[in-house]
Chain A
């Protein structure tokens, strides 16, 4: 009998597989059995690739037995939001409308890169329809439940990805983030979620939403796993015209290095308005930890004055570009959409072109404002969401004494950041017995290395940690 193992630390697990302490086949069997037993409680998976994952695991075990080399993620199970193409499976993007399309003929670019590194794809994950939402209450495939409280949402739109990682079913999952769809569910489920700089990771072979705002990235329970996945997924890709990174930036070998003299900016103004006390307290805890570090030069409160307008512009561009993408489907099969998605897309189709011109101009202006701010700070902090996970079915939530709509408010602090493509990571911060919260760390463009090192330092000092989920 092989020793038991945890699926919460993929890096350590892969090292044990390479050392021959446990077989990839045993890991995959445990993973599949765990999914079968526990997934029904929170509905994260929409497809499980039992045969393919068993075959991949057997191939890795055979290579190891023969003394051959395997990749750095050998035997590490992972799963992906169901908008990524998986060869042989129809790409749903959370919809009923696409269910009749033929299966994908190849894996998406990031799946291919993870599999080349030895990671084993075990399934596809639930999401808001066409990635338009922050709650993963999918009208066709059901709501994904939060592993920390199944009566609550997992967040969205990559809710299945965050829930699967939070529950320890897989160490790594992939999601997409147009307005906060990695950072919001990562925060509500208490895991790490990285939205890289716009154009850093290839979106080839993933179903789009808003081309000028779409990002893809990983979720994990440890920063080391996040960095390991991020490293192997990097690289320019001609198949995604937006994927134009200035360089590859392997971070894992330098993850524990400290950057001295860091200047930390706590975002004030828009980023402190409309948040629950506990969300602000989580930011302040991180700021205090940075302030106590001898490596940090200063911690100060700073402003991005254009944030509110940036968020509104992101809102308009999303509706308009998303509407344009789905125009034909909206005209031909309107009743096959999730009503919440459809009505927003139809409204977006009616926005005047002049508004989009304004939004694009605003984006350039806000980008310049952020660039200027990064002359005086190295890293920005804000809440990832204004509150902890609302209950499933709740449309209004009371935050700081005000009743506000759940769907519109969960992206308050993430939308301005993705609008200008800055890299950001949601780090889990939670009090014992309380629901998880996330703090958003934001860096200048292409400085994911700084984000991951800061998150790692917070993890090592115990300030940030992915809490164990009870179910």
Chain B
């Protein structure tokens, strides 16, 4: 990845954070947040590969 795409990616993180958190992420945090998003993405992939939500299971939640 070249420097430009890296900068764009970090700006994307800041923009997303602005929308979701209600505040800008300080520039000094962006690198760390980005790294942690990568780690979370790995765990999300494991969770998703374990199976999708099935209608019957959703129904069980409401019955419970």
Chain A residues within 8 Å of B, Cβ to Cβ: 306, 308-309, 312-313, 315-316, 319, 327, 330-332, 334-335, 339-340, 342-344, 346-351, 355, 357-359, 361-362, 364-365, 408
Given contact pairs A334-B23, A346-B21, A365-B51, enumerate 4 new A-B contacts (beta carbons under 8 Å): A335-B28, A347-B36, A361-B57, A362-B50
Candidate in B25, B40, B48, B53 with the most chain A CB atoms within 10 angstroms: B40
* Residue contact B37 to A350, C-beta cutoff 8 Å: yes
Docked CA distance A339–B25 (Å): 12
Chain B, residues 25-46, CB within 8 Å of chain A (1/0): the string is: 1101100110111011011101
Contacts of A362 in B (CB 8 A): 47, 50-51
* Residue contact B40 to A346, C-beta cutoff 8 Å: no
Contacts of A306 in B (CB 8 A): 50
Contact among B26, B32, B33, B46 for A309, CB-based, below 8 A = B46
> Total number of A-B contacts with CB less than 8 angstroms?
90
Sample 24 A-B pairs with CB under 8 A, ordered by A number: A308-B46, A309-B46, A309-B47, A309-B49, A312-B44, A315-B43, A316-B43, A319-B36, A319-B40, A330-B23, A331-B23, A340-B32, A346-B29, A346-B33, A347-B37, A349-B17, A349-B20, A350-B16, A350-B37, A355-B48, A358-B52, A362-B47, A362-B50, A365-B51
Docked CA distance A358–B49 (Å): 10
How far apart are B31's CB and chain A's nearest CB, in angstroms?
8
Contacts of B36 in A (CB 8 A): 319, 343-344, 346-348
**Chain B: how many interface residues by the 8 Å CB criterion?**
29
Contacts of A351 in B (CB 8 A): 40, 44
How far apart are A399's CB and chain B's nearest CB, in angstroms?
18
Whether A358 touches B48, Cβ cut-off 8 Å, given contacts A316-B40, A346-B29, is yes
Docked CA distance A340–B33 (Å): 9
Contacts of B47 in A (CB 8 A): 309, 312-313, 316, 355, 358-359, 362
Docked CA distance A312–B17 (Å): 23
* Residue contact A312 to B43, C-beta cutoff 8 Å: yes
* CB-based nearest B residue for A408: B39
Whether A343 touches B32, Cβ cut-off 8 Å, given contacts A315-B43, A330-B23, A349-B21, is yes
Docked CA distance A312–B57 (Å): 21
Docked CA distance A369–B29 (Å): 40
Docked CA distance A14–B49 (Å): 54
How far apart are A213's CB and chain B's nearest CB, in angstroms?
15
Whether A339 touches B29, Cβ cut-off 8 Å, given contacts A346-B17, A347-B40, A361-B57, is yes
Contacts of B43 in A (CB 8 A): 312-313, 315-316
* CB-based nearest A residue for B31: A343
* CB-based nearest A residue for B35: A343
How far apart are A134's CB and chain B's nearest CB, in angstroms?
14
* Residue contact B22 to A331, C-beta cutoff 8 Å: yes
Contacts of A332 in B (CB 8 A): 23
Docked CA distance A359–B16 (Å): 23
Docked CA distance A308–B49 (Å): 11
How far apart are B58's CB and chain A's nearest CB, in angstroms?
9
Docked CA distance A348–B51 (Å): 21
* Residue contact B17 to A343, C-beta cutoff 8 Å: no
Docked CA distance A319–B42 (Å): 13
Candidate in A327, A330, A355, A361 with the most chain B CB atoms within 10 angstroms: A361
* CB-based nearest A residue for B44: A355
Contacts of B21 in A (CB 8 A): 327, 330-331, 346, 349-350
